[in-house]
Amino acid sequence: MFEEHALNASLHDRAGFCCGVPELDDYLHRYALQHTRKGVTTVHVLVNSKAPHVILGYYSLSAAQVDVTQLNERDQKKLPRYPVPCFRMGRLACHADQRGRGLGKILIGCAVERCLQARKQVAAFALIVDAKGIEAKRFYLHYGFTACADSPMTLYLPLG
Ligand SMILES: CC(C)(COP(=O)(O)OP(=O)(O)OC[C@H]1O[C@@H](n2cnc3c(N)ncnc32)[C@H](O)[C@@H]1OP(=O)(O)O)[C@@H](O)C(=O)NCCC(=O)NCCS
């Protein structure tokens, strides 16, 4: 059974994680805990309950904002002309051995659910992501994300 947990240095084997994108591996190995402690991000990992130390995938979330002009016309019309409060999923990755088994889908679902819970306390219009490449962008488009007007590798998903 899959379980999602906050990254924990004494429980999770960060060094064993490999998604094949050096920047995303390096982040988990070296920076994720530091950034968590500094309060600039939260990092959650997906594990199998039978091997709870093995990280199968992870994502990070932070508060963010986007200029309203970056949204499509339909979304702009709903909103005041202020910077739009959002959450940012700065990183998302699955272990290279686990691709195509639905873990990316589970991780996106967990991240969206966490954002929906958080926005009951602090408002946010959308979840923003930064695609690290064209394949990652296709993945996000598949889930209904829309590219921002001036930065097409940044995409957003309204949470309403
Ligand atoms: C992107 C990534 C997270 C996808 O994870 P995954 O576990 O392989 O994806 P899943 O098996 O959960 O696929 C879920 C759905 O997305 C689709 N999908 C997966 N990768 C896709 C892609 N590159 N383009 C379009 N659709 C894609 C699948 O077909 C599946 O569709 P379905 O639910 O309609 O059948 C994974 O490939 C990864 O970790 N890549 C390296 C890191 C990376 O690029 N991260 C992106 C953030 S920068």
Q: Kindly list the protein residues whose Cβ atom lies closer than 6 A to any atom of ligand 1.
A: 19, 21, 24, 92-94, 99-105, 131-132, 135-136, 138-139, 142
Full set of structural domains in the chain with CATH: 2-158 (3.40.630.30)
User: Distance between CA atoms of 148 and 71, rounded to whole angstroms?
Assistant: 6
CA distance linking residue 141 with residue 122, whole number of Å: 26
- pLDDT beyond 90 at 31: yes
- Model pTM score: 0.96
Instruction: Identify the band that residue 57 occupies on the pLDDT scale cut at 50, 70 and 90.
Output: very high
CA–CA separation, 88 and 60 (whole Å) = 8
- Taking residues 38-64, report their average pLDDT: 98
pLDDT score of 160 more than 90: no
Q: How far is the CA of 99 from the centre of ligand 1 (A)?
A: 7
Mean pLDDT over each residue of the chain, to the nearest integer: 97
What is the share, in percent, of the chain residues with pLDDT greater than 90? 99
| Residues 88/129, Cβ–Cβ less than 8 Å | yes
Quote the CA–CA distance of 15 and 32 in Å, as a whole number. 12
The C-alpha atoms of residue 54 and residue 45 are separated, in whole angstroms, by: 9
Please give the Cα distance from 116 to 35 (Å, whole number). 22
110 C-beta neighbours (distance < 10 Å), count: 16
Give the residues across from 129 on adjacent strands. Answer: 89, 155
- pLDDT value at position 24? 96
Cα–Cα distance for residue pair 15/85, rounded to 1 Å: 34
Write down the catalytic residue from 31, 140, 143, 156. 140
- Please state, in angstroms and rounded to a whole number, the distance separating the CA atoms of residues 13 and 54: 6
The CA-CA-CA angle for residues 130, 98, 108, to 5°, reads 40
Told to judge if 140 belongs to the known catalytic residues of this protein, a careful annotator would answer: yes
pLDDT per residue as tens digits for the range 80-131 = 999 999 999 999 999 999 999 999 999 999 999 999 999 999 999 999 999 9
What is the pLDDT, as a whole number, of residue 156? 98
